[in-house]
Structures are given as structure tokens and as C-alpha cells.
Amino acid sequence: MNKKVVLAFIIVLGVVLLGFLFYSSTNNVRYRVEVCVAFQGRTSCRTARADTEEHALRSAQSNACGLIASGVTDTMQCEHSNPTSVKWLEMR
């Protein structure tokens, strides 16, 4: 085989693999939620997608707390506080 055929095969194989990875990682996403959190006078809202309601809520709250809490202790306290609002954007 010449080098052009091998290179074309590798490129096509790579595109197919990336497509499969994208499809398989987004296929199980059933829940999308926006969570707003207030902590120490600061507020942050973030959205997250996940395969279960619990994972979606936890991910969105964790992302929101990551922006407004500093340090491990503050982050843990923020993540265990009640969100100020929860808006379900997608449930399949």
C-alpha cells in the first residue's frame, strides 16, 4: 500500500472513532438541570447534564460552588447547602 492510502485510512478510522465516542458519551444523558447557589454573599448558577437526576443536581451544584467558594472547607460547605433554585431543563 502506498502512504496516501494508509494516511486516508487512519484519518477515516479516527473520525469514526471520535464520532462513536461522542455518540456514546451523549446518548445516556437524560437529565439537564440549572442550579443556583448562594454562599457567603455570592451567587452562581450552572447547568449540568447527567444520566440520573441525582448526578445532574450534584454536578450543577458542584460547578456553581467551584466559582464562589474558596478552599476545600468552603467548597464542601457550599456543596452541602440547599440551592436557591433548581430548574429542570430536560428530562427524558
15-36 exposure pattern, b = at least 16 Cβ within 10 A, e = fewer:
eeeeeeeeeeeeeeeebbbbbb
How many structural domains does the chain have? Answer: 1
> Do residues 64 and 43 make contact, with C-beta atoms less than 8 angstroms apart?
no
pTM: predicted TM-score of the whole model, two decimal places:
0.70
Q: Output the pLDDT for position 69.
A: 94
- Considering the domain boundaries, does residue 3 fall inside one? no
- Considering the domain boundaries, does residue 52 fall inside one? yes
Beta bridge partners of 32: 49, 90
- The C-alpha atoms of residue 21 and residue 25 are separated, in whole angstroms, by 6
Neighbours of 86 (CB within 10 A): 15
pLDDT tens per residue, range 54-88? 999 999 999 999 999 999 999 999 999 999 999 99
Domain that holds residue 56: 31-91
- Considering the domain boundaries, does residue 77 fall inside one? yes
